[in-house]
Structures are given as C-alpha cells and as structure tokens.
Amino acid sequence: MPNTTPGSSRSATAISSDRALPRSTPTPKIPALVDRSGPEPVRVFESGAILMHLAEKFGAFLPASGPARTEVINWLMWQMGSAPFLGGGFGHFYVYAPEKYEYPINRYAMEAKRQFDVLDRKLAKRPFIAGQDYSIADMAIWPWYGNMALGRAYGDAATFLALHEYEHVMDWARRIDARPGVRRGRMVNRTSGEPHEQLWERHAASDFQTRTRDKIGENA
C-alpha cells in the first residue's frame, strides 16, 4: 500500500508527530489516514471510511457496483451502528466500570446477544457476512465480534454470553482468524502479548520477519 499512512502515534512517514493528528481527524481517538499517492493529500478518518477508501483505491474486497456492493456497504454500516453497544455498552459496564450495576450489564448483555443472533442467522446461509466472498464487511465486524467469540475481548465475556451457542459465528470467526492476512494484521501496532507477535510499526512486508519485538528488542 504505497504512500498511504495510518494516522497513529506509531506512524513515522506521512504524519510526523502526534500534534499533526488533529489535522487528519476531528479527534485523536478515532483512526485516520492520509493518502499521499495523488497530487493532493487526501485525509480519511474513521475505520469504515478508511476501508472503503482503500478497497476502492486497490479494487479489492468491495464489489465495483450492483447489489453485491450495496450488501457489503449495508453490513459495514451495521458494524458502525452496532459495535458501540458491544464495546461502549456491554464491554464498559461488564469490565471497565468502577462499580458493577446489574441493570446496565443485563441491558447491554441482551443487546450483545441479539447482535450475535443477527450475525448467526445470516452466517447460517452464507460463508461470509455479505455473501460468498470475504469483504471489508468481514474486516470491520470480525475484530469486534470474532475476537469476542474467540474469547479475546472483555475478560470472560464469551463464557458469560454463551457465545459458543452461536455456531455459525464461531465457525466464521475461526475461518477469518486463520487467514494469513488477518494474522499479520493483528501484529501491527500491537504492544502486548508474545514478542514475536508484536510489530510496533509496519513500513514494508519484510518487517514481519525482521522487525518484531523478539528481533529488535524493547529499546530499538
């Protein structure tokens, strides 16, 4: 992805410092990207917009036209509207809130289970979220729902919500998790876990073999 730089504090080329982030995004709490491949820099912020921009730019993971394109966008928008209830709602009150209250935990737990049921019903009929092909809809939804189903988010939430009961979601989550591109993507900007799975900055494909924490050490 030449000349396309994510707007994070660990990016070192197109955005020179943290102070430059407000020019790329209304708030540094959301992801941003500056595409410098054309005559004028193009700023893109929010993950859904970034996914659409890159899919269109490289002609991948988003159909060019027709009902298939609309279906991918439908599910991309579903993620943007639904995930805040999963993370900011259930995740916050179940794990991060300093005091545990039964009502908000129950309220958002039921909403989370409703969302997983929506996905499970859809994935019972097709292999990927928007149809027969892997798309930016899967890329957007899997980090939230797939990781949670695999027990990687919000403590023991997968057990509490009995996510193993959503068999089609579990199958989809495992298949996405096994994709080589997903495995590489989970390493980028990662600062915890096994050193060989941490790639603080990614500037070239070879970085996955030469620039992980176990290769360059903590102080590099």
Each residue of 117-151: pLDDT tens digit? 999 999 999 999 999 999 999 999 999 999 999 99
Q: Does position 34 have pLDDT exceeding 50, yes or no? A: yes
How many C-alpha atoms does 149 have within 13 Å on its Cβ side?
27
**pLDDT at residue number 29:** 81
Domain 66-178 has CATH 3.20.20.80: no
Residue 146's SS3 state is helix
Each residue of 187-220: pLDDT tens digit? 999 998 899 999 999 899 999 999 999 998 866 5
Domain ranges across the chain: 4-45, 66-178, 184-216
The CA-based angle 134-137-143, given to 5 degrees, is 95
Q: Does position 21 have pLDDT exceeding 90, yes or no? A: no
CA-CA-CA-CA torsion sign (62, 149, 126, 109): negative
Each residue of 70-113: pLDDT tens digit? 999 999 999 999 999 999 999 999 999 999 999 999 999 999 99
Neighbour-count burial of 150, counting CB atoms closer than 10 A to its CB (0-12 exposed, 13-18 middle, 19+ buried)? middle
Q: Does position 1 have pLDDT exceeding 60, yes or no? A: no
Q: Does position 16 have pLDDT exceeding 70, yes or no? A: no
Which whole number is the average pLDDT over 59-74?
Answer: 98
**pLDDT at residue number 217:** 82
Quick check: 138 and 80 in contact, CB under 8 A? Answer: no
* Dihedrals phi, psi of 35, to nearest 5 degrees: -95, 110
**Residues contacting 175, CB < 8 A, separation 6+:** 127
